[in-house]
Structure 1
């Protein structure tokens, strides 16, 4: 049990990171209208700005926190970030101007960049052959948080626009206390590395990590795959309304089923799958399943069929942890924080770019002036991008363990 408690802390941290975003989503439109005194259209503009700021901070500070954890340890970075995160939610709960909300999202984006440190901790405590499966646990944590966040946030919103922020603050603070008492440090003098600013910024981290054999292609695949996979949170709600006439309740149920499916696949099924077929085949299988799912969703016209496809789309999520495991085994032990920080930044850039790509595609093929009406066009685009990922991956050599940097 003592050995399992640190893993439990990491998973709770990941769940809180995922919940923290979804928890406040149901109240953000009303909160922005409250502090700005504006209509829903202007609130949507500010909501987009706040989301972009959050993702930009993750991009900028993912490598920094990862490199700090390589130097000073995973434990202080994780615990201090949770404490600051709790204080940030208190700030947002008390904010009465849009500028305080912006400051809150800046701080929140920085503290949420600890995904890299959480993944590095998991890499530290995992044997090489266990890394992909344990990264799958992190993916399962995100799936659970993705389901619980909007659900709890919607329920708490009945008690006011500030209630979800107080709940998020309490969760972050409680987990910080839990980690203080049970989390051992995994960075030893053997793998500790001096902190260098030229490696702790996104561009420097890309250059250093990209120099490892095969990792530049794997990082490209990670970016393109993240853009392709963002079609679900990016246009699913609009697609459901346009194609099936779904209301908010049905859209919430469908996203919840998707999150549950990912949690089951990455938390339970991925380990036996990896043991049976290995990481490289798991990446190819997962990407291939995604291609099939994207193509089917592009043409499906029945909402119940779309719901039935959630199990197939969730199964495709084995590709992410398997790909992350291959990259982790390529980097040296004292580069795990830097690597995971780089991955966080890649995902953040993809999260900034993907909404524009998939929503503009949806708009073009559903607008009254479109030459060819097709609500499922974004899914076809994602299928093409994923096919490109498969093509690049099969030409990439297997991992070769790097020496300490």
Structure 2
């Protein structure tokens, strides 16, 4: 019998280390480029954007391939491939001597990444169905905690040990997480049966899944979540400055506003996941989409930083109910033997939202201010909620459950 609670604890730590390692470079990346010899501010800004996005570009392209491999050879193998591979690449980043080298390594890192979707696929296929919602929510909280604390830890370490040594620390963290995964995570996987299945391409795999009408809806929800959050982020610091004015605490408030959504997300995700085990993930998903759409609205009308933080804290609560229920529902609707492939397409949708959100948000800033971008996000989420209600709740009336 697989001890799913041990798996969950180990993979929670692994998710935390992976996401913290991926985001640690955010606060000091421009300074690291300056240390390499770049001086022009515009050049530094351009390279920063390209290097940061590089990871998501290759992740978007390669995740479906690794998902197919996981369905054929096992999810734990993909966890170890990704974990040890990223540990080596992150350590190598500490030796980068030019921006193009760092970009190349970020592209390689995105190519071999896949710890998160493999974790989700392994947990979903090795957890009792009555606990899947709780497991998905808890796993999500580990990733969010890493995303929140990664930039903070990175900034702190930059002051203490310097930029290059952070990559060595990150590589060591990923190596330790991979070792613990190898020793403690157990998987129930029938390799002989999986090998009997015909080999299919990524495109054919998508064609096989596309007729399941719920899956495109779930992938779109993942994309819209990330896009909605990220499209306003390039302007967030300027918006905080507009509300607060210039001063010594401006950077602190800007960081707090950016991270407070993650804090409430981290707390809410396991609780809403557990509730979804009782009343159904479809209901939690629909209510969370409506709630997220609603709490983008007050952000367009706030008059001070504290009001903005309160609105974004409430937004994070509903965001916490989205990705775990999406992952739970993907497991429900995906045919047996194609779970990893299905989750990998969802990860590609996540990477696409992370990629296009800041780019399109920055482009729209020439026509819309940040308050109007918040309302734009509301419209996107509302449309997505209507589509999800029609696709996912058509056979699940609200009166059937607690809601």
TM-score by length of 2: 0.89
Following superposition, the deviation at residue 65 of structure 1 comes to 1.4
Q: 1:361 aligns with which of 364, 381, 384?
A: 364
Look up the SS of the partner of 1:332 in the other structure: coil
Match of 2:55 in 1: 54
Match of 1:376 in 2: 371
CA–CA separation in structure 1 for the residues paired with 2:49 and 2:224: 22
Change (3 A) 1:289 1:3: closer
The 5 Å alignment of 1:258-277 reads 258-267=261-270, 269-277=271-279
Look up the SS of the partner of 1:162 in the other structure: helix
Match of 2:216 in 1: 216
Match of 2:77 in 1: 76
CA–CA separation in structure 2 for the residues paired with 1:130 and 1:234: 38
Following superposition, the deviation at residue 108 of structure 1 comes to 1.4
Structure 1 stretch displaced more, 327-336 or 128-137: 128-137
Change (3 A) 1:34 1:215: same
Does 2:391 correspond to 1:396?
yes
Following superposition, the deviation at residue 398 of structure 1 comes to 5.3
TM-score by length of 1: 0.89
1:24-80 deviation per Cα after TM superposition (whole angstroms, max 9, x unaligned): 111210111222433232111011111222111111111111111111111221112
Match of 1:119 in 2: 120
Change (3 A) 1:191 1:334: farther
Following superposition, the deviation at residue 243 of structure 1 comes to 3.5
The RMSD of aligned alpha carbons is 2.3
Following superposition, the deviation at residue 180 of structure 1 comes to 1.9
Say how many residue pairs are matched. 389
1:124-171 deviation per Cα after TM superposition (whole angstroms, max 9, x unaligned): 112334323322122211221122101110011112111221110110
Look up the SS of the partner of 1:60 in the other structure: helix
CA–CA separation in structure 1 for the residues paired with 2:349 and 2:206: 9
Structure 1 stretch displaced more, 301-310 or 144-153: 301-310
The answer to whether the 8 A contact 1:24-1:153 is kept is: yes
Change (3 A) 1:205 1:326: same
Match of 2:401 in 1: none
CA–CA separation in structure 2 for the residues paired with 1:322 and 1:241: 35
Look up the SS of the partner of 1:211 in the other structure: coil
Match of 2:244 in 1: 244
Change (3 A) 1:63 1:231: same
Structure 1 stretch displaced more, 77-86 or 210-219: 210-219
CA–CA separation in structure 2 for the residues paired with 1:239 and 1:191: 55
Match of 2:227 in 1: 227
Structure 1 stretch displaced more, 214-223 or 386-395: 214-223
Following superposition, the deviation at residue 377 of structure 1 comes to 1.3
CA–CA separation in structure 1 for the residues paired with 2:197 and 2:345: 15
Match of 1:325 in 2: 328
Q: 1:336 aligns with which of 335, 339, 345?
A: 339
1:199-235 deviation per Cα after TM superposition (whole angstroms, max 9, x unaligned): 3x3x444322212243223323332333123246454
Match of 2:167 in 1: 165
Match of 2:258 in 1: 255
CA–CA separation in structure 2 for the residues paired with 1:361 and 1:296: 20
Change (3 A) 1:345 1:190: same
1:300-335 deviation per Cα after TM superposition (whole angstroms, max 9, x unaligned): 112111112233111112022212211220002311
The answer to whether the 8 A contact 1:120-1:337 is kept is: yes
Change (3 A) 1:198 1:363: farther
CA–CA separation in structure 2 for the residues paired with 1:228 and 1:87: 33
Structure 1 stretch displaced more, 214-223 or 169-178: 214-223
Match of 1:371 in 2: none
Following superposition, the deviation at residue 98 of structure 1 comes to 2.0
User: Structure 1: any 5+ residue segments left out of the alignment?
Assistant: 366-373, 401-405
The answer to whether the 8 A contact 2:79-2:114 is kept is: no
Look up the SS of the partner of 1:364 in the other structure: coil
Match of 2:350 in 1: 347
